[in-house]
């Protein structure tokens, strides 16, 4: 939740997104095993692939490098455009990154508070119990004098000159109505003194902290109605393909659009605000219009990345003069994925149409891009041993759905590029190096958002 590295005492107004990023994890991010090329038995991953390949596509980027390029592309936007932090109401801030430190706007507690239901007592026992009582949220009670007690509720203000709070289960009233303690009373007991948790102005959380449900609660308790945060990058989704149905069963060579329903919540989990989902068919003109009219930070297309007669993504990018940063990645599935810079402020992620290939592109290119734009910390890389052997591609990294059982990753079947059955049951994707993996071999894992964060927390 907290950033890996933070600076104390930042002036919120002077911070922009790039600076927040620097605080989140720039200097402390350690490359994962795959980024270091360690899981790659042929030592081809993590550096340009110079080995001879029968199907060499010279421009294909090694998988670890593709992720770094996507991250760097986002950093260059932050630098070029100085995306400014925004003030966000608490109810809309879940999942954002703080762009200003959360400094207490009040002492907490803001008054001396009773920690228990019972009596506020003054001086030694026995005590005469006053007729009135003190409830939470009510006006201050007048001062007590020694030998007096007053009924008090948890959370109520402590009357001036109170010695201690006596819990209701520790008090006994005699036949004259006087209150006695059934155990020793220590001065100050069960009183939460004003400022016990913090003083007004204390830093509660630094720049770069992720706004979780607990942070929302803390911010509210500390007096905030809004927080200063990095805005979510806006993403438009363009779904290509004339063969796609929006409802009903597949028929007559037509299939259901699986990506339209899947991508928006997944993109939100990666930190984006999804501003539009458009179906543009296999119409080059419609794609051109949709891309050039989009003012989102990231345009995500699905399908049309290959070289078929109606694969319009590359021609459209050429037509608008976009710069291809990644044009194919040495990863299976998903190798035709691409990343292009459309303008200084706008990128396009081209996901292949095969649904698991699209997931691969999402996690390879969209995840680092959106995470960096949202100034979220990079997840800590980790590995687990694979329970079973996994076939490898001869040259490319494979991403394979796995479930986590104990301290092992169990590879799932139904992991073909056109299948979602494996990923729908998965906790993570295992990064399998070229050549494959033996049983017991450590594999880097990419957590899926529902496994690491829970639906309610991260799919906001
Ligand atoms: N000659 C070659 N053909 C192909 C290659 C290649 O290297 N040379 N690569 C294959 C690979 S790998 C992939 S992945 C696909 C990528 O194709 P596109 O990105 O152009 O996607 P489409 O052709 O439009 O569709 C591929 C496949 O996916 C289905 N699809 C598309 N959109 C959706 C959707 N929203 N929901 C469900 N399914 C979708 C589509 O019907 C096709 O079956 O290219 C290979 N070809
Ligand atoms: O990217 Mo493709 O899915 O490898 O078939």
pLDDT tens readout for residues 104-139? 999 999 999 999 999 999 999 999 999 888 888 887
Cα–chain-centroid distance for residue 157? 39
Q: Is 361 in the pocket of ligand 1 (CB under 6 A)?
A: no
Residue 336 beta carbon below 6 angstroms from any ligand 2 atom: yes
Res. 58: pLDDT tops 70: no
Give pLDDT, residue 195. Answer: 98
Confidence of residue 191 (pLDDT cuts 50, 70, 90): very high
Pocket test for ligand 1, best of 56, 336, 350, 423 (most atoms within 8 A of CB): 336
- For a ligand 2 pocket test, name from 357, 396, 429 the mutation site with the most ligand atoms within 8 angstroms of its C-beta: 357
Q: What per-residue confidence (pLDDT) applies to 132?
A: 87
- CA 331 to ligand 2 center in whole angstroms: 9
Residue 6 in this model has a pLDDT that exceeds 80: no
Q: Judge contact between 152 and 127, C-beta under 8 A.
A: no
Return residue ranges of the chain for CATH 2.170.190.11. 113-192
In angstroms, the CA 9 to CA 100 distance is: 10
Residues of the chain within CATH 2.40.340 domain(s) are 383-458
**Cα–Cα dist 278/349, whole Å:** 15
| 398 Cβ closer than 6 Å to some ligand 2 atom | no
Between CA 264 and CA 277 the distance in angstroms is 8
For the chain, the average pLDDT equals: 88
Buried b (16+ CB within 10 A) or exposed e, 336-371: bbbbbbbeeebbbbbbbbbbbbbbbbbbbbbbbbbb
CATH fold for the domain made of 383-458: Beta-clip (2.40.340)
Cβ of residue 257 lying under 6 Å from some atom of ligand 1: yes
Ligand 1 binding pocket includes 360 (Cβ within 6 Å): no
Of 380 and 219, the structure prediction assigns the larger pLDDT to 219
Give the number of the ligand closest to the Cα of residue 329: 2
Residue 141's pLDDT band (boundaries 50, 70, 90)? confident
Instruction: Return the ligand 1 atom nearest residue 239 CA.
Output: 35
Whole-angstrom distance, CA of residue 328 vs CA of residue 339: 9
Please say if the pLDDT value at position 440 is more than 90: yes
Instruction: Assign 36 a pLDDT band (cuts: 50, 70, 90).
Output: very low
- Looking at the domain that runs over 113-192, which CATH code has it been given? 2.170.190.11
Are 337 and 367 in contact, with CB atoms under 8 Å apart? no
- 414 preceded by a cis bond (ω within 30 of 0): no
Task: Enter the pTM of the model.
Answer: 0.83
Percent of the chain with pLDDT over 90: 78
Taking 50 as the threshold, does the pLDDT of residue 79 lie above it? Answer: yes
């Amino acid at each position: 939740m907290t950033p890996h590295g933070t600076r104390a005492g930042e002036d919120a107004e002077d911070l922009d997104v790039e600076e927040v990023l620097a605080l989140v994890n720039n200097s402390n991010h350690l490359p994962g095993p795959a980024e270091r090329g360690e899981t790659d038995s042929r030592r081809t991953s993590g550096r340009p692939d110079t080995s001879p390949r029968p199907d060499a596509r010279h421009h294909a980027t090694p998988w670890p490098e593709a992720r770094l390029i996507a991250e760097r592309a986002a950093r260059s936007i932050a630098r070029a455009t100085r995306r400014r932090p925004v003030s966000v109401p608490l109810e809309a801030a879940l999942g954002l990154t703080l762009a200003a430190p959360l400094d207490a706007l009040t002492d907490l507690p803001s008054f001396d508070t009773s920690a228990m239901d019972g009596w506020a007592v003054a001086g030694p026992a026995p005590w005469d119990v006053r007729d009135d009582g003190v409830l939470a949220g009510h006006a201050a009670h007048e001062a007590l004098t020694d030998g007096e007690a007053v009924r008090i509720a948890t959370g109520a203000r402590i009357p001036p000159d109170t010695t201690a709070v006596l819990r209701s289960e520790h008090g006994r009233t005699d036949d004259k109505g006087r209150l006695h303690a059934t155990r020793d009373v220590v001065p100050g007991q069960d009183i939460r003194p004003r400022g016990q948790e913090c003083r007004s102005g204390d830093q509660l959380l630094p720049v770069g902290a992720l706004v979780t449900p607990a942070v929302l609660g803390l911010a509210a308790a500390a007096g905030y109605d809004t927080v200063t945060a990095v805005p979510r990058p806006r993403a438009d989704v363009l779904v290509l393909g004339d063969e796609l149905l929006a409802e009903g069963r597949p028929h007559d060579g037509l299939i259901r659009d699986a990506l339209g329903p899947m991508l928006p919540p997944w993109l939100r989990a990666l930190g984006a605000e999804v501003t539009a989902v458009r179906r543009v068919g296999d119409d080059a003109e419609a794609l051109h219009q949709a891309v050039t009219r989009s003012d989102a930070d990231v345009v995500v297309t699905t399908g049309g990345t290959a070289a078929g007669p109606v694969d319009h993504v590359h021609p459209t990018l050429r037509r608008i003069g976009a710069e291809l940063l990644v044009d194919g990645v040495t990863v299976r599935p998903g190798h035709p994925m691409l990343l292009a810079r459309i303008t200084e402020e706008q990128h396009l992620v081209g996901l292949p149409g095969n649904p698991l290939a699209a997931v691969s592109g999402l996690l390879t290119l969209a995840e680092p891009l959106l995470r960096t734009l949202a100034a979220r910390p990079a997840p800590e890389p980790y590995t687990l041993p694979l329970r079973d052997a996994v076939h490898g591609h001869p040259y490319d990294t494979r991403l394979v759905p796995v479930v986590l059982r104990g301290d092992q990753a169990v590879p799932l079947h139904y992991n073909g590029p056109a299948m979602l059955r494996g990923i729908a049951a998965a906790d993570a994707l295992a990064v399998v190096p070229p050549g494959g993996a033996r049983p017991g071999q450590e594999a880097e894992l990419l957590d899926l958002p529902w496994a690491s964060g829970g639906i309610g927390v991260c799919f906001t």
